[in-house]
Amino acid sequence: MSLRPLTLFVTSFGGQAVILPILLLVTLILLASGQRRAAFWWAFSVVLVLGLVLVAKIAFIPCGGYLPGLNLRSPSGHAGASVAVYGGLAVLVARLARTQALAGLAIFCGFGLSLAIAVTRIVLGAHTLSETVLGGAIGLLAPSLLASRQDLFQRPVRLRWVWLLVAPVIVVALLHGVELGAEGVIEHVARQLNAMLGVCR
């Protein structure tokens, strides 16, 4: 029995078609509940990660060959985005949880899903181990930023943690398996920029 269908199923949770709507919907839920500070830090931290991964891709796609020992060509966007979004969401839920057990479960599930997605990128041959590790390391910036904010939620906190899970459930139900094909566009842009600037030949 082939595990490829399961691997493709899991890896789709880290695709742009799922990640970007979750980012938007969670931001809107936080704003609607009056948690503007949390909405800002959530959106800022995830967008920061996505931007850094994009910059890393643009740099490594044409220039990664100059570092053959690292086996780096294109840092994994799935790994970076998954750690940022699911790990960041886990931090938000853990902060709202009323028990340590629930907080621990949120962290375990969020980072567990992120790790599973990262592993699928290697299994599918989409990225090397070093590319996946680099992407995941960049992604850790988001949950780390959120965890460092002691004043993340404004009091009184009326938002229930369960509402933060509504966005991922809706998005996954509607968009799981959809691919935006951003990798090809990024590679084209990276090579065009490098051709203009002549940094790596």
The predicted pLDDT at position 40 comes to 97
Flag the least confident range among 46-50, 138-142, 158-162.
Answer: 158-162
| H-helix segments, 64-128 | 77-82, 88-96, 100-123
Q: Are 74 and 60 in contact (CB under 8 A)?
A: yes
Two tokens at 65? 């060959």
Span 64-119, pLDDT tens digits: 666 676 778 889 999 999 999 999 999 999 999 989 999 999 999 999 999 999 99
CB 74 within 8 A of CB 191: no
Q: What does the pLDDT look like over 14-31, one tens digit per residue?
A: 999 999 999 999 999 999
pTM of the model: 0.92
Judge whether residue 1 has pLDDT over 90. no
What DSSP string describes 144-164? HHHHH-TT-SPSS----HHHH
